[in-house]
Amino acid sequence: MKQIDHEELKAIIKNDAFDKYTNEQIFKDTKYYFESMKSAPFFGEETLGIYVDIYKKLGEKGYSPALYELGLLYYNGEFWLPSDYAVSLEYHQKAAALNNIDAMFELYVYYATGIGTEINPEIATDWNLKAANAGNNRACYNMGTFYATGNNVPLDMEKAVDWYDKASQLGNVRATETLSLMYRYGEGVPQDDAKADAYKEREIELREAFLRRMDKM
């Protein structure tokens, strides 16, 4: 499908012509131009603000990836747009309410560290669990660590291993490495060299796959 160019994107927001394309295509091409142009010192609010307005309009239409991007944008800020953690939190909350997995995980981080709100370990753990149940590998790794240490949940090594394994299956290197070491030394599980070797082999595969992706960028 042909890329929507900058002038067409300007016309879309100016004329509220969002029905001409799918939300997915408008979002994809908007993000492409925003990410490509934001590092150039001669592009500021007059140009890049158009893309932010498109994100906001897509968010009003209930498109969660746009709401998530707005959450990131207001967290990081730009030289022409001051960061605002409270606004960032609000956008992530809206995205998470639409089942955006990445936003769910961000809310865990925000409530765990006090970004845009007060620190609340219980709410943080709840959002992490929601993200984990939805398939976020980092959240699954966290759940494994929570159960392995008794952090805001009862200490339970069986559940810890289950969550680490789920994270590993979703491609989390740290969880895979952790399981390899646990089985190698019998920490929290029966010592099992065969399982340790299997997780170690998977860890190596995941690391190699990551390096291949980096080489293609």
**Spans of all domains in the chain:** 137-217
CATH of range 137-217; options 1.25.40.10, 2.40.50.180, 1.10.3720.10, 3.40.50.150? 1.25.40.10
DSSP string across the chain: -PPPPHHHHHHHHHHT-GGGS-HHHHHHHHHHHHHHHTTSTT--HHHHHHHHHHHHHHHHTT-HHHHHHHHHHHHH-BTTB---HHHHHHHHHHHHHTT-HHHHHHHHHHHHHTSSS---HHHHHHHHHHHHHTT-HHHHHHHHHHHHHTSSS---HHHHHHHHHHHHHTT-HHHHHHHHHHHHHTSSS---HHHHHHHHHHHHHHHHHHHHHHHH-
Residue 43, pLDDT score: 84
In a structure prediction context, what are the per-residue pLDDT tens digits for the chain, which is 217 residues long? 789 998 999 999 999 999 999 999 999 999 999 999 888 877 888 888 999 999 999 999 999 999 999 999 999 999 889 999 999 999 999 999 999 999 999 999 999 999 999 999 999 999 999 999 999 999 999 999 999 999 999 999 999 999 999 999 999 999 999 999 999 999 999 999 999 999 999 999 999 988 988 888 6
Residue 137, pLDDT score: 98
